[in-house]
Amino acid sequence: QGEQKDPHEKMHEGCSVKKVIGVVSGKGGVGKSMVTALSAIAANRNGLKTGILDADITGPSIPKMFGIHEKAEVSNMGLLPASTPTEMEIMSLNLLTDNETDPVIWRGPVIAGAVTQFWTDVIWGDLDVMFIDMPPGTGDVPLTIFQSIPVDGIIIVTSPQELVSMIVEKAMKMAQMMNIPILGMVENMSYLQCPDCGKKVEVFGPSSADAIGAEYGIPVIAKLPIDPKLAMLSDAGRIEFHENKEMDAMVDVLAEMGLD
Ligand code: ADP
């Protein structure tokens, strides 16, 4: 009977990551990549050496948010992640394809294999924390990724448009199967704040995050407004320059994991 190898050791030689956080959602378009980016920015601003592994390979949007359009460089050691202006490390399939607008039409197992290689073959260096932008849903592909990368905790992204309890239950089942703790949930597009009077309008109906969080014992890390400025900065590849107060509580989550 072979001794179980610490999966962290499967990283490229000389590289290490203290904690890995997976960001999941029930479906696409709720802002999972946005929350991944803002969480990583909060960690980075708090002085942690931060990386993002873009595993949402069918819609890799992370590089664009950070204004990265060049292909990843290859050194004689292996594949190098891209660095953002504030020195975060990023790897995404979009940094490898010839044309960043090419669609990826791979099947599940190939996607999971590529993502696993992002873990094993990229020269990440020494990171304090890595955020993984997971493929949407709780199907085979995210499951395989969770089995091949040592994820220390999961963040669930929801929006008020969804059947939040169902998504939370599915994510909890997946987390239990993998024996990974759920660190909290983030409700995105929670409300819109009137720029004139400051009133909060619940565009998609009242938030259920607090009630569902309490019911399942999952802390609500943040409720993010629909923010046209944020969307603009993100589209312009300047998301790092967004003032990111809404995600401040992420720092407490990291501290609880022993990162501060
Ligand atoms: P997902 O990763 O869940 O598919 P994205 O993070 O790519 O979703 O977000 C989908 C779209 O919505 C993007 O164009 C993004 O800029 C926009 N968006 C996400 N969250 C917000 C927000 N809080 N305010 C404004 N626009 C947002």
Task: Return binding residues for ATP.
Answer: 26-33
Taking CB atoms and a 6 Å cutoff, what residues make up the pocket around ligand 1?
25, 28-34, 59, 61, 188-189, 224, 226-227, 230-231, 234
Which of 32, 34, 204 gets mutated to test ligand 1 (max ligand atoms within 8 A of its CB)?
Answer: 34
pLDDT value of residue 222: 96
What is the rounded CA–CA span in Å between residue 87 and residue 44? 8
pLDDT at 5 over 60: no
What is the rounded CA–CA span in Å between residue 161 and residue 45? 31
Report, as an integer, the average pLDDT of 14-23: 95
Residue 7 has what DSSP assignment? G
Q: How far is the CA of 235 from the centre of ligand 1 (A)?
A: 10
* Ligand 1, atom nearest to 235 Cα: 16
Which of 234, 244, 245 gets mutated to test ligand 1 (max ligand atoms within 8 A of its CB)?
Answer: 234
Mean pLDDT (the chain, rounded): 90
Q: How far is the CA of 2 from the centre of ligand 1 (A)?
A: 45
pTM to 2 decimals?
Answer: 0.94
* Ligand 1, atom nearest to 234 Cα: 16
Q: Options 3.40.50.2300, 3.30.300.30, 3.40.50.300, 3.40.1160.10; which CATH number does 24-256 get?
A: 3.40.50.300
Count, residues in the chain? 260
Could you state, in order of their start, the residue ranges of all structural domains in the chain?
24-256
pLDDT at 212 over 70: yes
Task: Return binding residues.
Answer: 26-33
ipTM of this predicted structure: 0.99
What is the rounded CA–CA span in Å between residue 89 and residue 91? 7
Q: 121-147 burial by CB neighbour count: b if 16+ within 10 A, else e?
A: ebbbeebbbbbbbbbbbbeebbbbbbe
Residue of 239 and 103 predicted with greater confidence: 239
Report, as an integer, the average pLDDT of 109-116: 85
